[in-house]
Amino acid sequence: MGQAMRIKISEVGMILLFGLTALIWGCGPYTFSGAVPGGVQNVAVPLFDNNTAEYGIREQLTDAVINRFLRDNIVKVVDVGHAQAILRGTILTVIDQPYTFQATETVQEYRIILTVRVAMEDIQTGETSWSQEFSEWGTYPFSSGGSAERDAGLAQAIGKLTEDISNRVVSGW
């Protein structure tokens, strides 16, 4: 009976060892780096164009997109002279609109909606691989009417946009 028990324990040990080895080898080399379709490993992100009267937004959005790529390690961000692709963007609209109201029918919260058009251009072929409009929003309270609250709502919209753009870059050309 002792011999049979040792064999079963030994078999269980081998199964566990095999499973652990498979898990390590299966997950070990996983990375997001270089995950952009078409073999693109680096991209240039020039300053977005701004078709609105919103001051400073082009720098804020361009920096946020670059920082997203750097943080996610999807592609390397390089200057245009060394890039395999260029991600170009144009800010189309920034709209503030009432979002929620108090019982007295005064605005309690605003929604800021940011719409951009982004295109990915392949440097080798000179062709636009894809072009898409993205629209996202953030909210801010209308308590004091100060710019700090609005800036926080705009930052929410920019955060959502950078996620959308990053996902589009990774999803394919």
What pLDDT digit, counting tens, does each position of 21-47 carry?
Answer: 444 444 444 444 444 666 789 999 999
- Do 50 and 24 lie in one domain? The reply is no
Mean pLDDT of 100-117: 94
Q: Which two tokens stand for residue 16?
A: 């566990």
Beta-bridged to residue 94, according to DSSP, are 114
- Do 38 and 4 lie in one domain? The reply is no
DSSP string, 103-161: TTS-EEEEEEEEEEEEEEEETTT--EEEEEEEEEEEEEE-SS--HHHHHHHHHHHHHHH
- Do 16 and 57 lie in one domain? The reply is no
Which CATH number covers residue 54? 3.30.160.150
Q: Which two tokens stand for residue 103?
A: 């019982």
- Do 92 and 166 lie in one domain? The reply is yes
Furthest CA-CA distance within the chain: 85
Count how many domains the chain has: 2
Give 43-89 pLDDT, tens digit per residue. Answer: 999 999 999 999 999 999 999 999 999 999 978 999 999 999 999 99
Number of H helices, E strands in the chain: 3, 6
Distances (CA, A) of 153 to 73, 110, 141, 159: 26, 9, 9, 10
- Do 81 and 127 lie in one domain? The reply is yes
Residue corresponding to tokens 């490993």: 41
Give 119-135 pLDDT, tens digit per residue. Answer: 999 998 999 999 999 99
- Do 14 and 73 lie in one domain? The reply is no
Q: Which domain holds residue 14?
A: 1-30
Position 144: which residue type?
S
Q: Which two tokens stand for residue 41?
A: 């490993």
Q: How far is CA 73 from the centre of its chain?
A: 11
- Do 71 and 93 lie in one domain? The reply is yes
